[in-house]
Amino acid sequence: MNVNKAIILGNLTRDPEIKTISSGQTVASFSIATNRFWTDKTSGEKKKNAEYHNIIAWGRLAEIAQQFLSKGGLVYIEGRLQTRSWEDQQGNKKYRTEIVVEKMQLGPHNTSPNTNTVKENVATETSEDNTSSDDINIEEIPF
């Protein structure tokens, strides 16, 4: 059994670029930065490192990315790793590893650190759907 699965949660480093290929299929490409934090054991200094991931989304996921994602926005991606190769104009072989999106979850629209604001927004949005705010558990919201 083999597994090819990538799961990341990070911020877009640029707005998605969308194209339509000759077959009519829509494709979006963008990149996501993820951060890693740790404490240096010898100095006790807190450190941070950013890793950048190339992302490709096809079809409806590409359209959703174009419509709702923008630079700096938080997004959760599940997908598979894929490496493409080609030759540049000088004849050098080039490689690019990407995550091909299989699932995507958009981050919160309101990035306020105040969780009460999120609760108010959820209650406001659901009240229009004739759903009481008592039915919503803020802990179950996936972001």
Domain of 122, in residue numbers: 111-143
Do 65 and 97 fall within a single domain?
yes
Q: pTM for this one? A: 0.69
86 within a domain of the structure (yes/no): yes
- For residues 39 and 14, membership in a common domain is answered with yes
| 96 and 121 within one domain | no
Identify the pLDDT of residue 109. Answer: 64
Residue 69 buriedness (CB in 10 A; 0-12 / 13-18 / 19+): buried
Helix (H, G, I), strand (E, B) or coil at 73: coil
Whether residue 75 sits in one domain with residue 28: yes
Inside any domain, residue 1: no
d(CA 121, CA 142): 15
- Per residue of the chain (143 residues), what is the pLDDT tens digit? 999 999 999 999 999 999 998 888 999 999 999 999 999 999 999 999 999 999 999 999 999 999 999 999 999 999 999 998 888 899 999 999 999 999 999 887 654 444 333 333 332 232 233 333 344 444 544 43
Supply the pLDDT for residue 107: 83
Q: What is the gyration radius of the CA atoms in the chain, in angstroms?
A: 19
Provide the token pair at 106.
């958009």
